[in-house]
Structure 1
Amino acid sequence: MDKQRHAPRLDFTNVVPSNILQTIVIDLAFPYMLYPILTARMPLLGALGIVALFPIAHIIWNLYQRRMLDLIGIGALYFLLWALINDLVPASSLLQLELQHYTLPIALVGLLILLTHVVGKPLLFYIDRYCHAHSTAQNTAYNDYWQENATYRRMLYRLNIVWGVGQIIFAALLLALFRVISSDIYFTVALVASCLFYVIMAMWSVHYEDTYTQSTETTSNDDQKPYK
């Protein structure tokens, strides 16, 4: 039987045109566009509450329609939470400003990823399933595949460790950088460095998953991933 090559799970080319693109528009694009308009006309707290309705509504809709968590919506709420914290706890120093905008948000995400590694399935499994499974039956197939395929489990555990530890180390490096360069340029450098970091991590993850996919081509069809 011919064995067709499966696309890497973190290759978003197969899902961006439909499900993921729609989610990005609702959870991220709409709130991002509305936020500056609302803050010009009302207190920051009210503006945050209104833009948060978009990801909250989409999370509820996904739970009702697909029985799945909207991970992009949860991520959007996480950033809105930090925007709320920054509003309620104004920075009294440049160090506090740096901690609230970069080090703490990034490090906490890394810690959360590592916690999922030890208390249940790794977060990368849920991201993988979220990107490619769009029905209850496909979710069940993913769960079965996780239980049956040890190679798949090892691959995701490794990715999970790299993403968790990597973000904690990167957050520490940003804090160290804050100590050695001028604050006038630090926040610009930190923004660019953060974007590059996540782009590089995503590209590496795709390459690593591609290596795994190629290795599964030598196994039986029963051991291959259920969905592209």
Structure 2
Amino acid sequence: MSNLFPNTDWATSKAADTQSPILEVIRHRWSPLAFSNQPVEPEKLRQVLEAARWAASSYNEQPWSFIVATQEDPREFARLLDCLVEANQEWAKNAPVLMLSVAALHFQRNGNDNRHAFHDVGAAAAHLAIQATALGLFVHQMAGFDAAKARQTYQIPAGYEPVAAIALGYLGDPQQLSERLQQRELAPRTRKPLEAFVFTGSWNQPAAFTQQSQGSN
């Protein structure tokens, strides 16, 4: 997997240090702040969205939509960028592609509330991120955006809710970031151990099997 990212040893060093072996494409997925201005090829953009298309969903409802803007259309890119909070605009302005994920809140078949809509949109976004990694691209998903502004900008109708903003592109040089953001970019990645969130029998009782992983590297 590391050969997808030539001349980026520091990026390869961000690979997950896992408790158990996992797919290399998942180990190498992470969320950078530094993006190259290299455009994302239309075929690759289609591929990542095709991966999102094939995510699982409750009753196969597929409650996701994606609004996409690229640097090749500066006006549209600026409209989507303006929906982000200022702290995210600082770095996301360099990404060649920005997106908004949107959830349909009701089942089309009967109009009932779909309480799993956000879960399913997240699954589609995870598919997108893994496919992007396999193609040598990087994704950074953001909660920091103005949902009301996004709704107004894109005339998102009632019954649909903006979920997250997404930056997509090739990895950039962390030196292009402010010193504060460079520190975030180069910091080691961490995760809770399995026993902190995998339970058996009752809440907060770690499953016995979580204690027995030997590590992958």
Same fold by TM (over 0.5)? Answer: no
Considering fraction of residues, name the structure with more strand.
2
Considering fraction of residues, name the structure with more helix.
1
TM-score of the pair, normalised by structure 1: 0.27
TM-score of the pair, normalised by structure 2: 0.28
Question: Who wins on radius of gyration, i.e. which is larger?
Answer: 1
